Structure 1
Amino acid sequence: MKKIFFIVLSALAFNCFVPSAKVTAQTLPVGSNVLDDYYRREQLLGKVDSTVSFTIRPLFPVASLKIKDVFDPDSSLKADHWVQSGPISFAKGLGVFQILPLSWQQQYNSDHPYGWNDGAMIPAKGYQTMVSGGFFAKIGPLSVQLRPEFVYAANPAFNGFASGHTGQDLVNYYAYHNLIDWPERYGNSPYSKAFWGQSSIRLTVGPVSAGLSNENIWWGPGIHNALVLSNNAPGFKHFTLNTVRPIKTYIGSFEGQFIAGRLDASNFTPLEVTALPDGTNLFVPKRNDWRYFTGININYHPKWVPGLTLGYTRTFDAYHNDVHGFSSYFPFFTAYEKVISGVNGDPFPRDQVTSFYSRWLFTKAQAEVYFEYGLNDNSYNYNDFLGSPDHSRAYLFGFRKMLLLPGKNDQHVLFSAEITQLSQTIDRIVRDASGWYIHSTVRQGQTNQGQILGAGTGSGGNLQSMDVSWVSGLKKLGIGLERYEHNVDFYRTAFPDINGNSRKWVDFAFALNGEWNYKNLIFNAKFQEIKSLNYEWILKDYDPGKYYIPHNDVFNFHGELGVTFRF
Structure 2
Amino acid sequence: MRTSHWLLFAGVVLNVASSPSRLCAQQSNAATRDSSKRPAANEHRGPPGDEHTVSGSLLTLVGSEAVDRLRSEQLLKGVASGQSLLLLSASGLTPSNADSTAGWRASRVSPQVLAVINSAIPFSQNYGALWAGTGLSTRTLIGLKLESAHARIILAPEIILSSNTDWVLRHDFYVPDLPPDRSKYDLPFYVGAYTIDQPLRFGNKSIQRIDPGETTAMLSSSRFAFGFSNENEWWGPGIRNAIVLSNNAPGFPHLFLRTARPLATHFGDVEMRWLVGGLKESPYFDTVSTNNVRSIASFAATLQTRWDPNLSFGLARSVYSTASGWSPVFWRWFDIFTQTSRTRFADVRKDQLFSLFARWVFPADGVELYTEWGRLELQPSLRDFLIAPNHTQGYTVGLQWRGGSWREGNFRIQGEITQLEQSATFRDRPVPSWYTSTRVIQGYTNRGEMLGASIGPGAQSQFAALDYLKSDWRIGTYAGRIRWNEDAHDNFGFPAYAAYCNHDVSIYGGLRSSKVGQAGTITADLTVQTRLNAFFQNAGGCPLDRRLDIHNTTIAFSFTPAR
Bucket of the pairwise TM-score, normalised by the shorter protein:
0.7 to 0.9
Alignment of 1:82-481 (within 5 A): 93-160=102-169, 163-166=171-174, 168=176, 173-176=189-192, 179-269=195-285, 285=288, 287-321=290-324, 329-334=333-338, 348-406=348-406, 408=408, 411-481=409-479
Between 1:398-407 and 1:44-53, the stretch displaced more is 44-53
Distance in 2 between residues matched to 1:346 and 1:297, nearest whole Å: 27
- Preserved CA contact (<8 Å) 1:112 1:159: no
Which deviations, in whole Å up to 9, do the C-alpha atoms of 1:87-110 show, x marking residues without a partner?
Answer: 5x7795454433222112111111
SS in 2 for 1:175: coil
CA displacement, residues 519-559 of structure 1 (integer Å, 9 cap, x when unaligned): 1222111111001111221115x145x3x746643211011
Q: Distance in 2 between matches of 1:119 and 1:245?
A: 25
Q: Given the two structures, how large is their TM-score scaled by the length of structure 2?
A: 0.81
Residue 171 of structure 2 aligns to a residue in which SS? helix
Task: Letter of the 2:520 partner, please give it.
Answer: L
Select 1:564's aligned residue among 554, 557, 560: 560
In the TM superposition, what is the alpha-carbon distance from 1:292 to its structure 2 partner? 1.2
Instruction: Report the secondary structure of 1:133's partner residue.
Output: strand
Task: Provide the C-alpha distance between the structure 2 equivalents of 1:205 and 1:36, rounded to a whole number of angstroms.
Answer: 25
How many angstroms apart in 1 are the aligned matches of 2:537 and 2:298? 39
Deviations 1:431-455 (A, max 9, x none): 2322111111211111111111001
| Cα distance in structure 2, aligned partners of 1:103 and 1:26 | 9
Q: Tell me if the contact between 2:88 and 2:234 (Cα under 8 Å) persists in the aligned partners.
A: yes
3-state secondary structure, aligned to 1:36: helix
Structure 1 position 174, deviation (Å): 4.6
| Larger mean Cα displacement after TM superposition, 41-50 or 399-408 | 41-50
| Conserved 8 A contact 1:345-1:378 | no
Distance 1:91 1:459, change over 3 A: closer
Query: Normalising by the residue count of structure 1, what TM-score does the alignment of the two structures yield?
Result: 0.81
Question: Counterparts in 2 of 1:489-500, with a 5 A limit?
Answer: 489-496=487-494, 497-498=496-497
Tell me the distance in 2 between the aligned counterparts of 1:310 and 1:518: 35
Which of 29, 47, 66 pairs up with 2:61? 29
Taking a change above 3 Å as real, the CA distance of residues 177 and 50 of structure 1, as seen in their structure-2 partners, is farther
Partner Cα distance (1:415, 1:478) in 2:
10
Contact 1:417-1:466 at 8 Å conserved across structures: yes
Instruction: Report the CA distance shift for 1:313/1:512 in structure 2 as closer, same or farther (over 3 A).
Output: same
User: Separation in 2 of the partners of 1:325 and 1:488?
Assistant: 33
Secondary structure, counterpart of 1:45 in structure 2: helix
Equivalent residue number for residue 55 of structure 1:
86
Distance 1:246 1:285, change over 3 A: same
Using a 3 Å threshold, how does the CA distance of structure 1 residues 506 and 518 change in structure 2: closer, same or farther?
same
Partner SS state of residue 335, structure 2: coil
Q: Does 1:520 align with 2:536?
A: no
Distance 1:91 1:296, change over 3 A: closer
Where structure 1 has 5 or more consecutive residues not aligned to the other structure, the ranges are 1-24, 71-86, 270-282
User: Structure 1 residues 91 and 425 mapped into 2: Cα distance closer, same or farther (>3 Å)?
Assistant: closer
How many residue pairs align between the two structures?
Answer: 497
Give the share of equivalent positions with the same residue, in percent: 26
Amino acid at match of 2:537: I
**2:276–2:332 contact (8 Å) kept in structure 1:** no
Deviation at 1:459, TM superposition (A): 0.4
Amino acid at match of 2:253: K
Name the structure 1 match of 2:184.
Answer: none
Alpha-carbon shift at residue 147 of structure 1 (Å): 0.8
TM-fit CA distance, 1:387? 1.4
Q: Unmatched 5+ residue regions in structure 2?
A: 1-56, 180-187
Aligned-pair Cα RMSD in Å: 2.9
TM-fit CA distance, 1:123: 4.3
